[in-house]
Amino acid sequence: MVNRSPEIDVSVFADRTAFDEAVQRARHAATAYYDTGDAVMTDADYDALADRIAASIAARPEWDDQGVTTAVAAGASAGGDVRHPTAMLSLDKIKTPEEVAAFVATLGGDACLVEVKLDGLAIRAEYVDGRLVLAALRGDGTTGEDVTAQVRRGVAGLPSELATPWTGEVRGEVYMTVEDFEAASANRVAAGGKAFVNSRGAVAGAIRSIDRAYAAPMTFATYEIVGDGVDASGTHLARMDRAEELGFPAACRLIPEVAGECFTAEQVTAAIDLIGARRSTLVFPIDGAVIKADAEATRRRLGLASRTPYWAVAFKYPPDTASTVLRDIEVRVGRTGRISLRAVIDPVHVSGTTVTKATLHNPQWVAEQGLAIGQTVAVWRAGDVIPRVTSPIGEQPHGLTPWVAPEVCPQCGEPWDKSSLLWRCHTASCAAANALAYWCSREALDVDGAGDSFCDAVIEAGLARNVADLYALTVDDIAELPVGKTTAGGTVMLGRSNAERIIAGLEASKQQPFNRVVTGLGIRMTGRSVGRWLAARFKSMTALRAATVEEIAEIDKMGLIKAQHVVDGLVAMSDVIDRLAGYGLTMEVVDDGGAKPLAGQTYVVSGSVPGYTRTTVSERIEALGGSASSSVSAKTTALVTAETTTAKAKKAAQLGIPVIAPEEFAHMLS
Ligand code: IVH
């Protein structure tokens, strides 16, 4: 079922003063939204305000004496110096299944399409003989800003030169993928600027600055095309085929499963639901779905209103961002010893749940934003991910003191290591507490069902202080551990079946190979590779504990510093290791007695090998007597990869080292 938004206030303003003040606020927000990318209020709050303005105008038309308030209600931005040959339209918004059905009914049985509504900026680009001659933003729909030079700096999907000497115009959305947004934001901070608030804001900021000092990768997808070889009286799908032929990605095909025609409200609703379900995992940002008639004949029959077509509507998903008040910031130490900040906020409804806690980036970000307790903030929750505070919203209230992070770790009272953005605590007691989750992770002992919330709960309940304590736990001990909260604020308990699964997982972990036990100890500066090297070189915990720093440092790529950490770590965990041995964990390399066909050989695996993870493929090579390395050298027997253009592949070619395809290697290993 299409989600319903919680009830919103669409009441008419009480008087002219309140109305004018609301118009001012909406205008200010719209300017910020389109022109600087700054967040003054959340999209949901803006939409609600615009709805109230529209409702007020409907009830009191005389209030709209300047004739501009309708534009505000439609979310208009300032225009620019490029006049659009035909208006760049906006879309009417709908939110309920009834509205979907009503729209589908107007199509009279004609086909429509459901596609993603990308959350970026509308842009149009003119080409003459295959060369980009003009790119302009939507602006107020009639005129927009010239961004030709910026687009020529590079927007994926909107090339400066096409392979074909095509003349025509494409319209669409310029946006940032999630990854590009993170990169652009980091680049801007590195260049001395502020982090971007959201990806649409980042596009608005980046595409306007001609001489920006930071890289900001952007992407284009089209939803309209006119020009050579484009059938203006055919279907949208046929036009999008032509666009793709020319090299422009089509918005309607970004999620291939919904790229077909729909005829009934049920089909449309199913497509909307499918896009909604994918929303949190998409690599591009969306703020809704667009439902549009496919055939030009249908579009002509339905026609246009002044700013919006009757042949298309935008379905808005319930907002995944809401605004609320920051009440406290709790500082905790995460499983890797890194600082983690948790915002305590006034309860707020977002993406279908009530949220009272949210994560925050890092202390530096908080300081840059000047965040203060009592400030209004935007909280973002996509799908099932942990809610996150993304930005302060609106004006900073006077008299609030910016929040300052504590100088010491709240768990042990020692000063932070501030050498990276996510400060760390390295003390032994904290490390021991955070070590549980690492021990249980896939990289190490791979204990089924024992995730972060279980490990946190075990520590908080005082049931375990180190990894050895896990093996003394019983189902009864852990079945009632609190591991989460319900939407209503109640406690979620682990439960017996999960508890049984974890205890079974711990039992099964006793069969894991020795290298994983070494890795699982979580010694500083070591990971699964070091675990495997140590296991391969020393074969048993007894031999490993007896090894000197120099002996360990002799292992290729190990070095004295890591070796010293290994020796120190083993001493610090001496009791834990003894107890683990007592519980039956594997404390030596178990030789399966099988043949060692790879003895003396060294393989470098780049990319994935079918049927193996990165860890298990290395383990298998070693079980067969070979060694696994990460860099190609003259000693390499063969490189396993499907690529031909990577640095490793080139180096292998230079050195004359054979390359084996991953499938073939999988076959060899079996
Ligand atoms: S069709 C007739 N399709 O949404 C108007 N618009 O409120 C043509 N948008 O500014 C719009 N994704 O930039 C259409 N797949 C899509 C879209 C899309 C994003 C934007 C568009 C416009 C706004 C309409």
| Distances, alpha carbon 599 to alpha carbons 127, 539, 556, in Å | 61, 16, 17
Q: Which of 392, 385, 393 is nearest to 350 (CA)?
A: 385
* Ligand 1 closest atom vs CA 89: 5
Q: How many whole angstroms separate alpha carbon 204 and alpha carbon 131?
A: 24
Boundary of a domain, candidates 296, 316, 336: 316
Q: What is the largest CA-CA distance in the chain?
A: 91
Q: Does the residue 627 lie in any domain? A: yes
Residues 233 and 367 in one domain: no
Number of structural domains (the chain) is 5
* Ligand 1 closest atom vs CA 116: 15
The crossing angle, in degrees rounded to 10, of helices 614-623 and 528-538 is 10
For residue 376, list its beta bridge partners: 325
77, 94, 114, 117, best to mutate for ligand 1 pocket (most atoms within 8 Å of CB): 117
46, 90, 296, best to mutate for ligand 1 pocket (most atoms within 8 Å of CB): 90
* Ligand 1 closest atom vs CA 123: 13
Residue nearest to atom 8 of ligand 1 (CA): 89
401 C-alpha vs ligand 1 centroid, how far in Å? 42
Residues 419 and 565 in one domain: no
Which regions of the chain are under pLDDT 70?
1-9, 34-39, 66-78, 334-336, 382-385, 396, 411-412, 428-433
The CATH number given to whatever domain includes residue 172 is 3.30.470.30
Q: Does the residue 484 lie in any domain? A: no
End-to-end Cα separation, the chain, in angstroms:
47
Looking at 95, 117, 562, 648, which residue is catalytic?
117
Q: How many whole angstroms separate alpha carbon 276 and alpha carbon 541?
A: 51
Residues 327 and 300 in one domain: no
Q: Does the residue 274 lie in any domain? A: yes
At residue 78, the pLDDT reads 65
474 C-alpha vs ligand 1 centroid, how far in Å? 57
Residues 418 and 536 in one domain: no
For residue 224, list its beta bridge partners: 171
Boundary of a domain, candidates 272, 296, 316: 316
Q: Is the CB of residue 116 less than 8 Å from the CB of residue 253?
A: no
Q: Does the residue 481 lie in any domain? A: no
Q: Does the residue 411 lie in any domain? A: yes
Residues lining ligand 1, Cβ inside 6 A: 89-91, 115-118, 122, 138, 173, 223, 251, 290, 309, 312, 314
At residue 506, the pLDDT reads 98
The CATH number given to whatever domain includes residue 522 is 1.10.150.20
For residue 80, list its beta bridge partners: none
Q: Domain residues for 32?
A: 1-77
Report the number of secondary-structure helices (H) and strands (E) in the chain.
Answer: 25, 22
Q: Is the CB of residue 253 less than 8 Å from the CB of residue 240?
A: yes
* Ligand 1 closest atom vs CA 311: 2
The CATH number given to whatever domain includes residue 640 is 3.40.50.10190
| Distances, alpha carbon 281 to alpha carbons 95, 174, 347, 358, 382, in Å | 22, 19, 25, 19, 8
118 C-alpha vs ligand 1 centroid, how far in Å? 7
Boundary of a domain, candidates 249, 281, 316: 316
Please name the amino acid found at residue 600: G
Residues 558 and 625 in one domain: no
Residue nearest to atom 16 of ligand 1 (CA): 117
Give buried/exposed letters for 317-355 (b at 16+ CB in 10 A, else e).
Answer: bbbbbbbbebeebebebbbebbbbbbbebeebbbbeeeb
Sequence-separated (6 or more) residues with CB below 8 Å from residue 167: 127, 128, 129, 130, 227, 228
Residues 86 and 64 in one domain: no
Residues 246 and 291 in one domain: yes
H or E element that contains 203: helix 199-208
Residue nearest to atom 18 of ligand 1 (CA): 117
Residues 226 and 308 in one domain: yes
Residues 536 and 638 in one domain: no
At residue 375, the pLDDT reads 92
483 C-alpha vs ligand 1 centroid, how far in Å? 42
Paired tokens of 610: 């079918």
Residues 288 and 346 in one domain: no
Q: Is the CB of residue 84 less than 8 Å from the CB of residue 141?
A: yes
Paired tokens of 586: 């594997």
Residue nearest to atom 24 of ligand 1 (CA): 90
At residue 36, the pLDDT reads 63
pTM above 0.75, yes or no: no
Strand positions, DSSP E, 35-139: 82-83, 92-94, 112-118, 121-128, 131-137
Residues 223 and 338 in one domain: no
CA atoms within 13 A on the CB side of 462: 0
Q: How many whole angstroms separate alpha carbon 380 and alpha carbon 359?
A: 10
Residues 259 and 390 in one domain: no
> Phi and psi at residue 75, in whole multiples of 5°?
80, 45
Told to judge if 93 belongs to the known catalytic residues of this protein, a careful annotator would answer: no
A 10 A CB-CB count for 667 gives 12
Q: Does the residue 482 lie in any domain? A: no
Q: Does the residue 486 lie in any domain? A: no
Q: Which of 392, 351, 385, 388 is nearest to 371 (CA)?
A: 392
Residue nearest to atom 2 of ligand 1 (CA): 89
Q: Does the residue 303 lie in any domain? A: yes
12 C-alpha vs ligand 1 centroid, how far in Å? 28
* Ligand 1 closest atom vs CA 75: 7
Sequence-separated (6 or more) residues with CB below 8 Å from residue 517: 445, 531, 541, 580, 585, 586, 587
215 C-alpha vs ligand 1 centroid, how far in Å? 26
